[in-house]
Amino acid sequence: MKLSTYFRSSASYRVRIALGLKGLSWEPDYVNLPKGEQRDADYLGINPQGLLPALTTDEGGVLTQSLAIIEYLEETHPTPALLPSSALDRAKVRAMAQLIACDVHPLNNLRVLKYLKNPLGHDQATVDDWYRHWVVEGLQALEVMVKDYSDGKHCFGGEPGLADICLVPQMWNARRFAANLESCPTLLAIDAHLQKLPAFAAAAPEGQPDAF
Amino acid sequence: MKLSTYFRSSASYRVRIALGLKGLSWEPDYVNLPKGEQRDADYLGINPQGLLPALTTDEGGVLTQSLAIIEYLEETHPTPALLPSSALDRAKVRAMAQLIACDVHPLNNLRVLKYLKNPLGHDQATVDDWYRHWVVEGLQALEVMVKDYSDGKHCFGGEPGLADICLVPQMWNARRFAANLESCPTLLAIDAHLQKLPAFAAAAPEGQPDAF
């Protein structure tokens, strides 16, 4: 499998973790976002959205959208499971993942931050406030959601899963923008535990060959 | 089942369509977004995010996030299927749905449009431009993605599915904000077909009892 990735792309980071948890090897296709390589004709042929990540299967199938890719990996490589076994529990974990993937991350995507600067004319401090606002609002709600289900090391249950895969990259972003997460002690504890696991550590941005 | 819904909430609209396609009856719990009822303590007890929709099952389980709810309905009521049978095809349809649910809709959520006005200080015209910018950018990419899979009446294959469920509410929003979708003829044709189907028609905002 080939993964189109960029070290700091949070959605790519999710898929790198999932591939690691499933024990799957992959070949990287580095797409440099600040250089705009995601808008090259070659890459738009892979993903017309011009966003990362994309996964090309060994059979040549091209997949986009990180959560769709991870559900595909879950269906084609069920062990270890990234979702619980009951439909209700699966819905809980998917909701935690989607809270991050739908309601936090897209607001802080590079293309959105750029739009805030031009045409909207905001300075870096205002853009950073925007970033922190949505991260803190979203993660405070997630903190409440996980409390009933977390063992203090995972968002749900006793093994790493889809919600954890979304949480760790979001927490990495939150630290990068110095968001104050004092109000999220459970998430901080989960993140601290997960970061040490091999699949999470190997997927971290700073260790990727395209990191600078 | 009880659905916490607001007639113009696009994510609620998706779940209303899915419930209709599955032939499931539901009791409404109307949450008035402009009045801020989503931030009432009662509703925050259901959904700590203070966002719509939420689905309460007959057994008392509470589900949030529209795509997680629809996957739950798909798992618990598999017929008619809203996702294709092969893992690759399922990933394609989920990616189309997530393009809308992650990369278009959240940028145009009420809370985001409010933030653009206060604290950012933008006028209605600028907010409307923001809205249209993300709708058109997202739907133009979706237009490319569906071309290989659409029969001109559905985003993928020959039956309404998860991508269609996300498309129709987004097209409704696009019309509301007068976005120019001339560059998306396939999506316009799909939307025109789907709107006439009973499950889609019954879920439309203007027909909801809480519409004003």
Which of B94, B129, B155, B166 best probes binding to A when mutated, by most A CB atoms within 10 angstroms? B94
Q: Quick check: do A2-80 and A87-200 share a fold?
A: no
Q: How far apart are CA B145 and CA B187, in angstroms?
A: 10
Assess whether pLDDT exceeds 90 at residue A13: yes
For residue B212, the model assigns a pLDDT of: 85
| Residue A77 φ/ψ, nearest 5 degrees | -135, 80
- Selection from A136, A161, A165, A141 nearest residue A151 by Cα: A161
- The residue with tokens 């992650």 is B102
Helices (H), chain A: 10-21, 41-46, 66-76, 87-103, 110-117, 124-147, 162-176, 185-195, 198-203
Q: Is B192 helix (H, G, I), strand (E, B) or coil?
A: helix
The string of pLDDT tens digits covering residues A46-62 is: 999 999 999 999 999 99
| Contacts A107 to B, Cβ<8 Å | 106-107, 112
* Domain B87-200 CATH assignment equals 3.30.870.10: no
The band of B150, judged by pLDDT with boundaries at 50, 70 and 90, is very high
Q: Is A60 left (phi over 0), alpha (psi -120 to 50) or beta?
A: left
Assess whether pLDDT exceeds 90 at residue A172: yes
Q: ipTM of this predicted complex?
A: 0.98
**What is the arithmetic mean of pLDDT over B130-148?**
97
The band of A199, judged by pLDDT with boundaries at 50, 70 and 90, is very high
Q: Which two tokens stand for residue B18?
A: 């899915």
Burial class (CB within 10 angstroms; exposed 0-12, middle 13-18, buried 19+) of A30: middle
**What is the arithmetic mean of pLDDT over B131-150?**
97
**56-115 in chain B: CB under 8 A from chain A:** 57, 61, 63-65, 67-69, 71-72, 75-76, 87-88, 90-92, 94-95, 98-99, 101-103, 105-107, 109, 112, 115
The string of pLDDT tens digits covering residues B65-116 is: 999 999 999 999 999 999 999 999 999 999 999 999 999 999 999 999 999 9
Q: B2-80 falls under which CATH superfamily?
A: Glutaredoxin (3.40.30.10)
- For chain B, which residues make up each domain, given as ranges? 2-80, 87-200
For residue B88, the model assigns a pLDDT of: 98
Select from A65, A68, A103 the Cβ nearest to the Cβ of B51.
A103
**What is the arithmetic mean of pLDDT over A83-91?**
98
How wide is the angle at C-alpha A179 spanned by C-alphas A178 and A184, nearest 5°? Answer: 130
Select from A91, A103, A106 the Cβ nearest to the Cβ of B63.
A91
Q: In this structure, are residues A112 and B107 in contact, taking their beta carbons and an 8 Å threshold? A: yes
CA distance B161 to chain A (A): 15
CA distance B172 to chain A (A): 20
**What is the arithmetic mean of pLDDT over B48-56?**
97
Beta-strand relationship, A62-64 and A54-56: antiparallel
For residue B23, the model assigns a pLDDT of: 98
pTM score, whole prediction? 0.98
Q: In this structure, are residues B100 and B135 in contact, taking their beta carbons and an 8 Å threshold? A: no
Assess whether pLDDT exceeds 90 at residue A212: no
| Contacts B50 to A, Cβ<8 Å | 141
Q: How far apart are CA A61 and CA A1, in angstroms?
A: 10
For residue A10, the model assigns a pLDDT of: 97
**What is the arithmetic mean of pLDDT over B129-149?**
97
Assess whether pLDDT exceeds 90 at residue A22: yes
Q: Which two tokens stand for residue B61?
A: 């389980």
Average pLDDT across chain B, whole number: 97
Q: How far apart are CA B189 and CA B202, in angstroms?
A: 19
Average pLDDT across chain A, whole number: 97
Assess whether pLDDT exceeds 90 at residue B7: yes
CA distance A194 to chain B (A): 24
**31-60 in chain B: CB under 8 A from chain A:** 48-51, 57
Q: In this structure, are residues A10 and A167 in contact, taking their beta carbons and an 8 Å threshold? A: no
The string of pLDDT tens digits covering residues B178-200 is: 999 999 999 999 999 999 999 99
